Amino acid sequence: MATMTAVKDKKTKKAPVRGMMDNVLEQFNSAADQVGLHPNIRKILAITNNEIIVNFPVKMDNGDVEIFTGYRVQHNNALGPYKGGLRYHPTVDIDAARALAMWMTWKTSLAGLPYGGGKGGIKLDPSKYSQGELERITRRFTFALADNIGPEHDIPAPDVNTSSQTMAWIADTYMSTRPPAERTANQHVVTGKPEGSGGLEGRDRATGYGVYLNIKYWAQRKNEKLKGKKFIVQGFGNVGYWAAHFLEEEGAKLVAVQDAFGSIENQKGITVEDLFNYSKANNGSIVDFPEAKSLQKENFYSTTCDICIPAALGNQITKENAGDIKATLIAEGANGPTNVEGEKILLEKGVTIIPDILCNSGGVVASYFEWLQNRNGELWQLEDVIAKLDKKMKDSFDKVYEYSESEAMDFRTAAYCIAIKRIEKAYIQRGIFP
Nearest one of 118, 330, 322 to 232, comparing CA atoms: 330
- Asked if residue 191 binds ligand GLU (CB under 6 A), the reply is yes
The answer to whether 31 touches 413, Cβ cutoff 8 Å, is yes
Closest-CB residue for ligand GLU? Answer: 85
* 83 interacts with ligand GLU by CB under 6 A: yes
Does 204 contact ligand GLU by CB under 6 A?
no
- Residues binding ligand GLU: number (CB under 6 A): 12
157 forms part of the interface with ligand GLU (CB under 6 A): yes
Q: Of 22 and 159, which has the nearer Cβ to ligand GLU?
A: 159
Report the distance separating Cα 199 and Cα 33, nearest Å: 40
For residues 371 and 107, give the distance between their C-alpha atoms in angstroms, rounded to a whole number.
17
Report CA-CA distances (Å) from 277 to 24, 231, 272, 311, 421. 36, 20, 9, 19, 44
364 forms part of the interface with ligand GLU (CB under 6 A): yes
Site for ligand GLU in 120-139 (CB under 6 A): none
Catalytic residues: 119
Cβ proximity to ligand GLU: between 82 and 231 the closer is 82
If one asks whether residue 151 binds ligand GLU (CB under 6 A), the answer comes out as no
Out of 135, 159, 248, 306, name the contact with ligand GLU by CB under 6 A.
159
Give yes or no for a contact between 303 and 256, defined as CB atoms under 8 angstroms apart: yes
Cα–Cα dist 319/246, whole Å: 30
- Cβ 420 vs Cβ 32: under 8 Å: yes
Nearest approach, Cβ of residue 160 and ligand GLU (Å): 8
- Burial of residue 349, with CB atoms counted within 10 A of its CB: 0-12 exposed, 13-18 middle, 19 or more buried: exposed
Q: In terms of residues, how long is the chain?
A: 434
Choose between 19 and 116: whose C-beta lies nearer to ligand GLU: 116
Single out the residue of 353, 326, 327, 358 nearest to residue 338, CA to CA. 353
According to DSSP, the residues that pair with 353 across neighbouring strands are 330
Minimum CB distance to ligand GLU smaller for 191 or for 303: 191
Contact (CB, 8 A) for 117 and 84 = yes
> Is 85 among the residues that bind ligand GLU (CB under 6 A)?
yes
Nearer to ligand GLU, 58 or 160 (CB): 160
335 binds ligand GLU (CB under 6 A): yes
CB of 386 to ligand GLU, least distance (A): 17
Minimum gap (Å) between residue 385 Cβ and ligand GLU: 14
Quick one: angle between helices 131-145 and 164-176, nearest 10? Answer: 50
CB atoms within 10 A of CB 158: 24
DSSP 314: S
Q: Which of residues 389-408 bind ligand GLU (CB under 6 A)?
A: none
Give me the amino acid identity at 184.
T
Position among 19, 84, 121, 310 found at the interface with ligand GLU (CB under 6 A): 84
Give yes or no for residue 363 binding ligand GLU (CB under 6 A).
Answer: yes
Q: How far is the CB of 8 from ligand GLU (least distance, A)?
A: 30
122: which strand partners? 70, 88
64: left (phi over 0), alpha (psi -120 to 50) or beta: beta
Q: Does 230 bind ligand GLU (CB under 6 A)?
A: no
CA torsion through residues 344, 242, 414, 94, sign: negative
Taking CB under 6 A as the rule, does residue 367 contact ligand GLU?
Answer: yes
The one segment of 13-21, 64-72, 145-153, 358-366 that binds ligand GLU by CB under 6 A:
358-366
What is residue 150's DSSP assignment? Answer: B
Instruction: Please report, in angstroms and rounded to a whole number, the separation of the first and last CA atoms in the chain.
Output: 32
Q: Which stretch binds ligand GLU (CB under 6 A): 8-16, 52-60, 83-91, 259-267?
A: 83-91
157 or 346: CB nearest ligand GLU: 157
For ligand GLU, the closer of residues 104 and 244 by Cβ is 104
**200 or 272: CB nearest ligand GLU:** 200
Which stretch, 80-88, 310-318, 389-397, 409-417, contacts ligand GLU (CB under 6 A)?
80-88
Residues that bind ligand GLU (CB under 6 A): 83-85, 107, 157, 159, 191, 335, 360, 363-364, 367
